[in-house]
Amino acid sequence: MNNKTIAAVALSSRDFSSFAARLKEARHWVECAADSGADLIVLPEALNLWRGDGETGQKALTFEEVALDNWQKDCSILIEVAARKRVAVTVPVVTREGKHLTNSFFLVDRDGSVRGRYQKMRPTVGELEQGVQPGQVSLIEWEGLKIGGAICFDVYFPWVFEKQAQAGATLILAPGLTPGGSYLNFFAMHYSLPIVQSYPAWSRIIDLDGRELAQGGYRGETLRYGFGTPVILATINFNREAFYADINQLRMNDVQKMYGRRVRITFDQPNMLFVVESLDPDLSIQEVIREFGLVPKQAYFRDPEGSYEAEERWNARGIRSAT
C-alpha cells in the first residue's frame, strides 16, 4: 500500500483585512488538517489576490500590485507550520519573476523545503493582459508520487490533463476559484488520476474512477452559519491501477485467485473500468501487471496496437479472446 491522507481547505474567498490576516487564517486550517491526520494539504488559488469590497469601497488590486517578489519570506508562516506539523502544504500565490508574473502553487514538504511548483498552464485572457505567463508541464516528485496541477481556468482544458498524464502524473492538485463541475469528474476517470480541488465554495477530492471521496465548502449552510471546518479529507491508496475491461477482464479472476486478500478488485460496469488495488505493502501493482500481462487503461487507449499484442500473447497461451 501507499496510503496518503489528503486534505483540501475551502479557505474563504472573502477579502481579509490584510494578506497577513489571510495567511493567519490559512495557517489555522492547515494546523486543523494536520491534526486530523493529513499528509498533504491543498489551499485555494492565489492567496494574495485582492478583489475589493463593495461595502467598504476598497478597490480590487491588479496582479502587478499583489505579486510577491519573495514568496518564501512573505509566506514563511505556512512554511513554518508545514515543518512544525510534519505535513506537506501547497502555497498558491501570484509571484513576480523578473519582468513576468506567474500564477503558481509551490509544494512545501514536511521539513519546510520546497519540492517544486506548478505554474498555471492556461491563464485567462485577463491574466495574460496583465502579464501572467503560462507554464509548462513540470511534475513534482513527492513520496513516491508524481504530482501535477490545474489552477482555476486550467480545469476546462483536456490537454492540461492529457500532457501531465502522458508525463506520468499520479495525482493532480487543483486549487482554484472556479467550480470545475463535472469536467473534473470526467478528467479524473478518463486519465485515471485522482484530483484534489481546493475551491472556497465547494472543495472536492475525486478518485481515479470519477467518484467523489469527499466534498464540502462555503456553499453549505453549516459553514456559512459559522459551524464546522472548511477542511475535507480522504485517504487514497496509490498502489493501484485502473484497467479498461476488454482484454484485462479475462484475467481478473486469475488475479484474485492468486493474490487473495492481498488485492482488492472493483468493477465499474457502466464505464467498463476495473481498479486493482494492492493491500499488501510488499506487493506492488506493477508486479501484478507484469505477472498477468495486464494493460493499464491509459496505455490501452494510447497504444491500441500494444493491446492487440497482449491479446495475441494470451491467445498463444490458450486464453480465449475477449470477443
CATH of the domain at 210: 3.60.110.10
pLDDT at 286 > cutoff 90: yes
- % residues pLDDT > 70 (the chain): 90
What confidence score (pLDDT) does residue 161 get? Answer: 97
pTM: 0.91
* pLDDT at position 293: 93
Residue 175 CA to residue 111 CA, distance in Å, equals 22
- Of these ranges, 11-15, 70-74, 224-228, the one predicted with the greatest mean pLDDT is 70-74
pLDDT at 98 over 80: yes
- Assess if residue 323 is contained within a domain: no
Predicted confidence (pLDDT) at residue 1 exceeds the cutoff of 50: yes
* pLDDT band per the 50, 70, 90 thresholds, residue 323: very low
Extract the runs of DSSP E, i.e. beta strands, from the chain: 3-9, 40-42, 88-97, 100-108, 114-119, 140-142, 145-149, 171-175, 195-198, 203-206, 212-216, 231-237, 240-244, 263-268, 273-278
Question: Are 250 and 205 in the same domain?
Answer: no
Q: Looking at the structure, tell me whether residues 127 and 257 fall in a common domain.
A: no
Residue 94 has pLDDT above 70, yes or no: yes
Q: State mean pLDDT over 171-180.
A: 96
- What percent of the chain is modeled with pLDDT above 90? 79
Any domain includes 145 = yes
The count of structural domains within the chain is: 2
Query: What was the pLDDT predicted at 254?
Result: 96
Confidence of residue 52 (pLDDT cuts 50, 70, 90): low
Structure confidence at residue 198 as a pLDDT band (50, 70, 90)? very high
If asked whether residues 136 and 51 sit together in one domain, one would say yes
Per-residue pLDDT, averaged over 253-262, amounts to 96
**Backbone φ, ψ for residue 4 (5° rounding):** -130, 130
Do 88 and 152 fall within a single domain?
yes
Which domain range does residue 208 map to? 3-237
Sheet holding 263-268, edge to edge: 240-244, 273-278, 263-268
- Output the average pLDDT for the chain: 91
